[in-house]
Amino acid sequence: MSDLLPLFPLPNVVLFPNVFLPLHIFEPRYRNMVADALAGDRLIGMVLLKPGWERDYEGRPPVYPVGCSGLITHAERLADGRYHIVLRGVERFRIVREDHARMYRCATTEPIVDEELKPDDHLVLRSQRAKLEAMLAPAAERPSRAAGSDLVVERSGASFRIPATMADDDLINGLAQYLDLDPLEKQALLEQRGLRARAESLVELLEMKMMMARVPRVPDVAH
């Protein structure tokens, strides 16, 4: 990671390592950021804006200190100067200090390394993965789904396929990014100390959401 990382703060996007993220860049300051990144190491740091960002969006509203760097793997510059880009998550980082010399935000950062997995962690991950697959498989698919087969996940009326051969870290990070979770929930998952903790937290979060969905709503009573 470069000494000074360009920051792209958004209110509703959290990037995870080795996950792809398409972005449309239209603000002049961030067009400049993309142009500079393409001329350099092609890295951009995605960070989440803290609540209340609306009051100072044109300035430098507070962001969460933990983000994820992304490598620009595809870039298309449009005739009016806007960009379509695709990022691939590289590694988590923590902001050490911001630099204000440019029109866009930059920061000195330090990498955050996941805790090394111990032998029993792999067994826990296998169990958490099985729970996730059981929760996310469409109801009609659950009785007939064979062990070791690809998982088809429904999301916002669409569906996407998760290969059975996908590595545990790619699966956990991909679900954390692509599932319909609140941005603050995704941020909490990103900040987990390692893959096992992220998997356990994701399972707990989805179990809580499923439990809440089964609780009948109390109808409003007119007074």
Q: What is the mean pLDDT of residues 111-115?
A: 93
* Domains of the chain as residue ranges with CATH: 4-112 (2.30.130.40), 119-214 (no CATH)
Summarize pLDDT for 38-79 with one digit per residue, the tens: 999 999 999 999 998 878 777 889 999 999 999 999 999 999
Residue pLDDT, tens place only, 183-216 = 999 999 999 999 999 999 999 999 998 888 776 6
Q: How many CB atoms lie within 10 A of CB 17?
A: 19
pLDDT at 151 over 80: no
Quote the pLDDT of residue 53.
86
Please tell me which residue, 47 or 117, carries the higher pLDDT value.
47
pLDDT at 58: 77
Could you give the CA distance from residue 178 to residue 181 in angstroms, rounded to a whole number? Answer: 8
Q: Is residue 37 scored above 70 in pLDDT? A: yes
Does 87 have pLDDT greater than 90? Answer: yes
Which of 89, 80, 98, 97 has the alpha carbon at shortest distance from 26?
A: 80
pLDDT at 57: 77
Q: For residue 156, is it left (φ>0), alpha (ψ between -120 and 50) or beta?
A: left
Q: What is the pTM of this model?
A: 0.86
